[in-house]
Amino acid sequence: MASPKYLAVFIVLVAIFNICNAQSLKLGFYRKTCPSVEAIVKKTTASVISRVPTLAAPLLRLHFHDCFVRGCDGSVLLNSNRNNQAEKDAIPNQSLRGFGVIDRVKSAVEKKCPGVVSCADILALTARDAVSLIKGPFWKVPLGRRDGKVSIMMEALINLPPPFANITQLKAQFAANNLTTKDLVVLSGSHTIGTSHCSSFSSRLYNFTGRNDTDPSLDPNYIVRLKSKCKPADVTTLVEINPGSFKTFDQDYYTQVAKRRGLFQSDAALLDDTETKAYVKLQSASHGSTFFKDFATSMVKMGKIGVLTGNAGEIRKRCAFVN
């Protein structure tokens, strides 16, 4: 077994490698090889979101779930095969949607620039455009990611922050990806859009401590409303994460969390830390005065987690399969 000294050196080298890779991403990466890539991605994404605006949240979630496992390398898009169960088959990923949209965007890009643009970059751009198209912020996406060749189900189970995580667990998982406590509370704001299955939060309604009780951190009136929609053991019903505003990207999430109406335990946990609570209160009181700017900054930062660049990985021809 390696000595603590050599282990520490190894960890530092890995960190330096990740930082160097992230720095090799750049704006205009495809300026010469595929100058129209961003226009193609936006046009194709817009054609989908204009018809089904509720797909914006799943596309953003796909990007999150990709980056938190092996970095932003498109590994969440890979299918399982007879020899391996991939990330998309892990329990937290079984409710992911939007794979068909990514395939559609990839196909459009391939027609113009075959073998040039990675699925990881397409996912990052599509998530950005989907958010922007539902009145959310826009940010410039540094490009140059390469696609990974490995996708392991167990890694998704271990590395994705669960909806029942407490603030200590959340801060640790974000820190492991070089994201700060501010990034945590800012990126949690993505819950301003989307829906969730009852099973992701029903323990807060019916059996919080194993005694058929409710979560005391959840607003009692909200509990009554949620119980009317979610019966015990319901695994099919979908509930709006941010009631009344789940199709539009706005700051209302923080208003709900401040009122103790965050749907997940991980939302409620933001009130258990001085820094995250202060941010929730600020955005709630100021109608999201800095939220869009902060979200754009944190998304760029998240999009650099563990990226493959240069000659690492590959440029997949189809996003669900290694070449």
Residues carrying an active site annotation? 65
On whether 69 is known to bind a ligand per the annotation, the reply is yes
On whether 191 is known to bind a ligand per the annotation, the reply is yes
On whether 288 is known to bind a ligand per the annotation, the reply is no
On whether 66 is known to bind a ligand per the annotation, the reply is yes
On whether 215 is known to bind a ligand per the annotation, the reply is no
> Rounded to whole angstroms, how far apart are CA atoms 292 and 298?
10
Sign of the CA dihedral running 250, 255, 257, 262: negative
On whether 192 is known to bind a ligand per the annotation, the reply is yes
On whether 73 is known to bind a ligand per the annotation, the reply is yes
On whether 109 is known to bind a ligand per the annotation, the reply is no
Token pair for 74: 């498109």
> Rounded to whole angstroms, how far apart are CA atoms 284 and 262?
13
The amino acid present at 106, given as its one-letter code, is: K
Binding-site positions for substrate read 161
Binding-site positions read 66, 69, 71, 73, 75, 87, 161, 191-192, 250
Binding-site positions for Ca(2+) read 66, 69, 71, 73, 75, 87, 192, 250
Binding-site positions for heme b read 191
